[in-house]
């Protein structure tokens, strides 16, 4: 945002009102799910990155190992989606992403059985 050499001027400007809009994009990279720090078998928070297409992510659903149905994650902030569970989740987990244009993409077993917090997993 700042012109070269004017970074400090921008830092001191205070609150700046902005307007933006999402545009269709093509990342050229595979969808990636970053399991956030602090996750455990009862709490899963995913940062979803590199989703091509038609706008914001409006829903992320997961299906646990052996599960019949998808369960919605709650939007936390930004591109982070979470699930708090009173029982440990069963891995591997399949994720389904829905964008504001209605496009759904399914990423089978994207979070593996031996997952770790603060680790990124790329869809196949």
Please give, one letter per residue, the 3-state secondary structure of 8-29: HHHHCCCCCCCCCCCCCECCCC
Residue 1: its pLDDT value, please?
60
Q: Which residue has the tokens 């209605």?
A: 102
pTM, to two decimals: 0.79
pLDDT digits (tens, 9 = 90+) for 4-48: 888 888 888 888 887 776 666 676 679 999 999 999 999 999 999
Domains of the chain by residue range: 23-122
Residue 104: its pLDDT value, please?
93
Query: Can you identify the CATH homologous superfamily of domain 23-122?
Result: Expansin, cellulose-binding-like domain (2.60.40.760)
């Amino acid at each position: 945002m700042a012109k070269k050499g004017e970074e400090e001027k921008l830092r001191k400007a205070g609150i700046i009102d902005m307007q933006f809009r999402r545009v269709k994009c093509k990342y050229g990279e595979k969808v990636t799910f970053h399991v956030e720090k602090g996750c455990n078998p009862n709490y899963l928070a995913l940062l979803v990155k590199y989703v091509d297409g038609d706008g914001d992510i409006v829903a992320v659903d997961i299906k646990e190992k052996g599960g019949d149905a998808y369960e919605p994650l709650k939007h936390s902030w930004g591109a982070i989606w979470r699930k708090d569970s009173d029982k440990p989740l069963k891995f591997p987990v399949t994720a389904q992403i829905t964008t504001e244009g209605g496009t759904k993409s399914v990423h089978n077993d994207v979070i593996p059985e031996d997952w770790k917090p603060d680790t990124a997993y790329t869809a196949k």
